[in-house]
Amino acid sequence: MAFISVNLGILNLLPIPILDGGQILLLSIEGLLRRDLSMAVKERFVQVGFVFLLLLFAYVMYNDVVRLISIHS
């Protein structure tokens, strides 16, 4: 149980825009620029992260299904 919790914590801190690590990255960029980014830039940032997560989950599910099919064949 602890192993799963640690894995989820590490995954959450990755600099993917929709996760907490992405929010830290966005705040760091704003801090370096010393100004707020426009709402359009922030929206694109989140959209890119969302698409990346969807692709990651689709890839993981595909690998799981292929592995299950190859075991039963």
What average pLDDT does the chain have? 92
Residue 72: the pLDDT is 79
Q: Which domain holds residue 12?
A: 2-72
User: For the whole model, what pTM was predicted?
Assistant: 0.74
At a CB cut-off of 8 Å and minimum separation 6, what does 46 contact? 17, 18, 22
Q: Is the pLDDT of residue 71 over 90?
A: no
- pLDDT tens for 29-47 read 999 999 999 999 999 999 9
Share of the chain above pLDDT 70, in %: 99
User: How many domains would you assign to the chain?
Assistant: 1
